[in-house]
């Protein structure tokens, strides 16, 4: 993936790492950073205490110059991490503020982020959509809000379909996180819909045949 010129960086989180079977957080990160030195990579803290978050963030930041440290917008008690973000940015840490879903949350952290060497705001557009809300207007508002702050970039996080790539691009969103399955589906961009329809019919037929389905019919 790192050799794919389409990919400009990587991000992960404790949930994805657990799902992938990662047992040792640091050794995994160091192994990744040994292979990828020229693209930004975001690793997340996992403490719920802000002092411990700070210690973890400084440790993670020390692993490589291309490391961004992911700080959740709040802890599990709903307490804002804006002060911690400001503190870390002031110490030169590149911060990726994650798990955000509103413009107000972005406004809370950007004044702190701009004090540092650059940062990301990860807004979970896919989860906004999961709540039954259209995410594009909210994401567009955030793009506009960030225009006076060129060192802070917006990440369209948790995409649900390849259409999200088109939507993110159309509003000028800086970055979108894309999973392997969505990258593979990008080959369908611009596909003739009649051809796509025929391919679908063939898929249904071939799957029915390979499954050995049979029906006795009478005429």
pLDDT at 196 > cutoff 90: yes
Residue 157 in this model has a pLDDT that exceeds 90: yes
Sorting pLDDT into bands at 50, 70 and 90, what band is 66?
very high
The pLDDT tens digits of the residues spanning 84-112 come to 999 999 999 999 999 999 999 999 999 99
pLDDT of residue 209: 97
C-alpha 173 chain-centroid distance: 12
Active site residues: 70
Q: In 104-193, at which residue ranges do the beta strands (DSSP E only) sit?
A: 119-124, 152-157, 175-176
Residue 36's pLDDT is 95
pLDDT tens-place string over residues 48-58: 999 999 999 99
The CATH class of 10-189 is alpha beta
Distance in angstroms (rounded) separating the CA atoms of residues 124 and 139: 10
The stretch 45-68 carries a mean pLDDT of: 98
CB-based burial, 36-69: b 16+ in 10 Å, e otherwise: beeebbbbbbeeeebeebbebbeebbebbebbbb
Provide the β-strand partners of residue 46: none
Name the average pLDDT for the chain.
96
β-strand pairing of 67-72 with 41-44: parallel
* Model pLDDT, residue 186: 94
Q: What residues have CB less than 8 Å from 171, skipping those under 6 apart?
A: 136, 139, 140, 143
Q: How confident is the model at residue 75 (pLDDT cuts 50, 70, 90)?
A: very high
Q: What is the pTM of this model?
A: 0.93
The domain ranges of the chain are: 10-189
């Amino acid at each position: 993936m790192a050799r794919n010129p389409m990919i400009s960086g990587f991000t992960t989180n404790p949930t994805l790492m657990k799902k992938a079977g990662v047992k040792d957080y640091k050794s995994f990160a160091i192994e990744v950073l040994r292979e990828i030195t020229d693209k930004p990579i975001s690793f997340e803290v996992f403490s719920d205490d802000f002092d411990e978050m700070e210690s973890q963030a400084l440790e993670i930041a020390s692993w490589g110059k291309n490391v961004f440290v992911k700080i959740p917008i709040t802890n599990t008690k709903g307490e804002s991490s804006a002060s911690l973000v400001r503190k870390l940015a002031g110490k030169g840490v590149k911060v990726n503020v994650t798990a955000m879903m509103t413009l107000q949350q972005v406004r809370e952290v950007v004044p702190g982020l701009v004090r540092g060497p650059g940062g990301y705001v990860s807004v979970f557009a896919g989860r906004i959509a999961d709540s039954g809300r259209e995410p594009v207007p909210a994401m567009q508002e955030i793009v506009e809000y960030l225009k006076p702050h060129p060192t802070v970039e917006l990440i369209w996080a948790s995409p649900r379909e390849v259409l999200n790539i088109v939507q993110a691009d159309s509003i000028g969103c800086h970055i979108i996180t894309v999973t392997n399955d969505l990258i593979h589906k990008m080959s369908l961009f611009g596909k003739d819909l009649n051809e796509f329809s025929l391919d679908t019919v063939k898929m249904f037929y071939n799957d029915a045949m390979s499954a050995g389905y049979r029906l006795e019919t009478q005429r």
